[in-house]
Structure 1
Amino acid sequence: MILQKLATPLGWWRAGAMACMAIMLQASPAQAADAGDVVIGVFLPTTGGFSPLGIEMKNGYELAVKDAPKVKGRQVKLVVEDTQGTPATGLRVAQKMILQNHAKLLIGGTSSSVVLGINAQASRLNVPIVTTNSQAVQTTGKQCSKYLFRTNPNDAMVANANGLLMKKKPELLQKKWFVVFHDIAWGHSNKTEFSKIPGIHIVGEAGRAFGTADWASAFAQIQSSGANAVYLALAVGDDLPSFIRQARSFGLTQFMLAPLGMPDSMLQTLGENGAGMITGGLFGSWMLEDHSAEMKRFVNEYGAAYGIVPGAQAIQAYAGMRLTLAAMDKATSLDTPAIIAALENTSVDTVIGKLAIRKQDHQGMVGTYMSESVKLDAPKFGSKLGWKVIEALPWDSVKVGLADTGCKGL
């Protein structure tokens, strides 16, 4: 089968809570939940540079609830709040959803820094937190907690996947790599893990703030370094396709590796420059619909609802929410300890295959996909490019051993 081969102090808390309550009294009617509803708080950016990813994740969550609308016979209600991609706002809206909307669980986490900021107050928030996109290793590593769960691959797993890609294509190890990274938690985590790939030759690096509009100074550094390949540890917001477009117009012809690929919606904006990229760390591809009836159903449902194909973040969001809903339904109650126990012991079949949590560090036991961006023979929901899976890399091939995670126990 092709996929098998491819396969603070208390006072601070009270003061913060009171401040949030003053804001929360103006909740919109659309976010009001009936007394019998099971409320899940969704924290993600719907404005700002990360918003394309946040919207994809929101779409995936909504479809998952549409397909599994009840927990313990009660209607599931999603309350969505905009984190604006910042830790301070993320913590504020997390408190709001718990205190006002009585959310039993929080899910989201487009940005690792937002997830880690909320997790720092997890014991006070006292609800399970599930992220379907945080990639920084410390999320389930050094900053692991009994409250926090991750259902997507982390940076170390992505590095392992790209290491396998380089074994398959050894000419990549012969290249001189220049690393461009975002100066945020994820960027530092990702570039560090990339540097650990055996045999990799890095000749320079350039860190820039998220939201950088002009990359000319980084291009000059790349040219002077003698690099013939560029590793893009850039968060997959608008900056990534912008960098690629500017680099090509600037005359840079170096091979480029985006460790996670990029969302399909952004891939389309690159036009001719979008074809021919490869990655070992793609989180999911709608093009697997040719091999999976469940993926095909999801792609058609997503396309009918939103007019586009689902990107990797939407696919991961859908799968993570389905696991979350199954665990909440399985839990002996909707109290926090019961939901945590159920998340640790639930396994579900999803659009990315079987999904379960490693109990010891709360890392999702998932794989990645070695993929190439290709032109489609015929457009699919307006998309002319897509990520063709070369090989599926299962959990056992990319996982990080418990002793190496940095998690000292939950």
Structure 2
Amino acid sequence: MRTIRYFAAACALAAAAWGLPQAAGAEDLVVGVFLPTTGPLAPLGNDMKRGFELAAKGATVKGQPVKIIIEDTAANPANGVRKAQKLVLEDKAKILIGGASSAVTLAVNAQAARLNVPIITTNAQAVAVTGEQCSRFLFRTVPNDAMSAKAISIMMQKRPDLLAKNWFIVYHDFAYGHSNKAEFSKIPGIKIAGDAGRPVGTADWSSAISQIQASKADAIYLALAVGDDLTAFVNQARAFGLNFVMMAPVGIPDSMLQALGKNGVGMVAGGLTASWMQEATNPKIRDFVKAYHAANGVVPGYQAIQAYAGFQFMLAALEASSDFAPDTIIKALEATKADTIVGPIQIRKGDHQAMVGAYMAEAVALPQEMFGAKVGWKLLDPITWDQMKVELADTGCKGL
């Protein structure tokens, strides 16, 4: 037996040395992570991936090591379903976490009952995720589009100069874009000068920019999935002389903000959940930022912070669960209140929406470089759950 153990250990060391994938050990608790590390949403997915990796480092539940297995969805719903099936059926994941894209998250959720595994999204914001398509298997640890729209409405009440503007909506022609566009248009007093929808993967935005120029718009709302398309639009719009205020509803990853440089300064957000710049006042964020920067050489975007916090919530629920059967984990997720780097995360049992708040924020140039960053999201006023929540009866969720 000793020889067998030594042989197994030697094989594991050899695999690590050669960079070969290692199977989860018999005592490992497997967590499946699904997100886009390639394709148009890769900046978002890779930010999340690094957050999950830090959260999982050295993590245990009930004395069992936690092993994450990460699968790239490329933000494609059909691919996301295949990867979820692989994680559950082959890798024996007890729970899935990630869900960068709303379309992918909804596609995986449609198979949740068959897969019989709880799912946590730390990013997907389409209202339907915990609304019309809510399910007992699916949980969301971040605000949804309707909540973000409420936060933006509050921001505009405090900034009447923004409410007075004529907004042009640029949106992606899929679940997130349509959901976000619809919720923004419902803000009381908002004036919409026009809109332009384009598919994910659009590199040339000149036709949409021509529509903006032909309208009476003097502000732009970006109902765009966070990825390469968004930076392409902002850079092209600025190059065409559109120096209007731009609102990204929940901000953009800081890696993209650095890439935009001066073109990103002045962007506003009404529903940003967190910023690495909180490191000045929040010791938990400070420790995370230092660890993230040490591992990756850049500052974490808010998606990385959300991923880390969502993983903390998941670990707390798994620790509280009496066993790892799906029904038991679901009950634990519904009952857990976890202390995370973004504050307490607790789920509303009726629709599995996290009862969390957000912040008004503005992208500012830093007086001096910090952690390799020259631009950062400065958080302004906090917006609480009670201010931005959508009542359960108005969510579209017909029950779990």
**Smaller-chain TM-score range?**
over 0.9
- Tell me how far apart the structure 2 counterparts of residues 303 and 255 of structure 1 sit (CA, whole Å): 30
1:66 aligned to 2:57?
yes
Q: 1:141 aligns with which of 131, 134, 137?
A: 131
1:241 aligned to 2:231?
yes
User: Which amino acid counterpart does residue 138 of structure 1 have in structure 2?
Assistant: A
Match of 1:22 in 2: none
Match of 1:261 in 2: 251
Indicate if the aligned counterparts of 2:360 and 2:383 stay in contact, CA closer than 8 A: yes
SS in 2 for 1:110: coil
Indicate if the aligned counterparts of 1:161 and 1:393 stay in contact, CA closer than 8 A: yes
1:221 aligned to 2:211?
yes
Indicate if the aligned counterparts of 1:183 and 1:207 stay in contact, CA closer than 8 A: yes
User: Which amino acid counterpart does residue 82 of structure 2 have in structure 1?
Assistant: R
SS in 2 for 1:152: coil
User: Which amino acid counterpart does residue 323 of structure 2 have in structure 1?
Assistant: S
User: Which amino acid counterpart does residue 116 of structure 1 have in structure 2?
Assistant: L
Indicate if the aligned counterparts of 1:122 and 1:147 stay in contact, CA closer than 8 A: yes
Match of 1:43 in 2: 34
SS in 2 for 1:178: strand
- Tell me how far apart the structure 2 counterparts of residues 345 and 197 of structure 1 sit (CA, whole Å): 33
CA deviation profile, 1:294-342 (whole Å, cap 9, x unmatched): 1111111111111111101000000000000110111010000110000
- Tell me how far apart the structure 2 counterparts of residues 158 and 399 of structure 1 sit (CA, whole Å): 9
Indicate if the aligned counterparts of 1:31 and 1:79 stay in contact, CA closer than 8 A: no
Match of 2:4 in 1: none
- Tell me how far apart the structure 2 counterparts of residues 144 and 344 of structure 1 sit (CA, whole Å): 14
1:253 Cα shift? Answer: 2.2
Indicate if the aligned counterparts of 2:245 and 2:266 stay in contact, CA closer than 8 A: no
- Tell me how far apart the structure 1 counterparts of residues 98 and 139 of structure 2 sit (CA, whole Å): 11
SS in 2 for 1:231: strand
- Tell me how far apart the structure 2 counterparts of residues 309 and 380 of structure 1 sit (CA, whole Å): 9
1:65 Cα shift? Answer: 1.4
Match of 1:118 in 2: 108
- Tell me how far apart the structure 2 counterparts of residues 98 and 261 of structure 1 sit (CA, whole Å): 32
- Tell me how far apart the structure 1 counterparts of residues 357 and 67 of structure 2 sit (CA, whole Å): 30
- Tell me how far apart the structure 2 counterparts of residues 91 and 31 of structure 1 sit (CA, whole Å): 23
Q: 1:367 aligns with which of 336, 353, 357?
A: 357
- Segment of structure 1 superposing worse, 28-37 or 167-176: 28-37
1:31 Cα shift? Answer: 4.6
SS in 2 for 1:30: coil
Match of 2:5 in 1: none
Show the 5 A alignment for 1:11-410: 29-66=20-57, 69-410=59-400
Q: Which segments of 5 or more consecutive residues in structure 1 lack a partner in the other structure?
A: 1-27
SS in 2 for 1:322: helix
1:222 Cα shift? Answer: 0.7
- Tell me how far apart the structure 1 counterparts of residues 222 and 263 of structure 2 sit (CA, whole Å): 15
CA deviation profile, 1:136-179 (whole Å, cap 9, x unmatched): 00000000000000001100011001001100101111111111
- Tell me how far apart the structure 1 counterparts of residues 362 and 352 of structure 2 sit (CA, whole Å): 30
> TM-score scaled by structure 1?
0.92
SS in 1 for 2:21: helix
User: Which amino acid counterpart does residue 36 of structure 1 have in structure 2?
Assistant: E
Runs of 4+ in 1 over 4 A off after TM superposition: none
1:378 Cα shift? Answer: 2.0
1:29 Cα shift? Answer: 4.8
- Tell me how far apart the structure 1 counterparts of residues 174 and 159 of structure 2 sit (CA, whole Å): 30
- Tell me how far apart the structure 1 counterparts of residues 57 and 381 of structure 2 sit (CA, whole Å): 31
1:277 Cα shift? Answer: 1.4
CA deviation profile, 1:61-84 (whole Å, cap 9, x unmatched): 1111126x1011101000111111
- Tell me how far apart the structure 2 counterparts of residues 250 and 375 of structure 1 sit (CA, whole Å): 22
1:262 Cα shift? Answer: 0.8
User: Which amino acid counterpart does residue 367 of structure 1 have in structure 2?
Assistant: G
Indicate if the aligned counterparts of 1:181 and 1:208 stay in contact, CA closer than 8 A: yes
SS in 2 for 1:313: helix
User: Which amino acid counterpart does residue 286 of structure 2 have in structure 1?
Assistant: K
- Tell me how far apart the structure 2 counterparts of residues 244 and 255 of structure 1 sit (CA, whole Å): 11
1:376 Cα shift? Answer: 1.2
Aligned residues: 382
User: Which amino acid counterpart does residue 253 of structure 2 have in structure 1?
Assistant: P
Q: Which segments of 5 or more consecutive residues in structure 2 lack a partner in the other structure?
A: 1-18
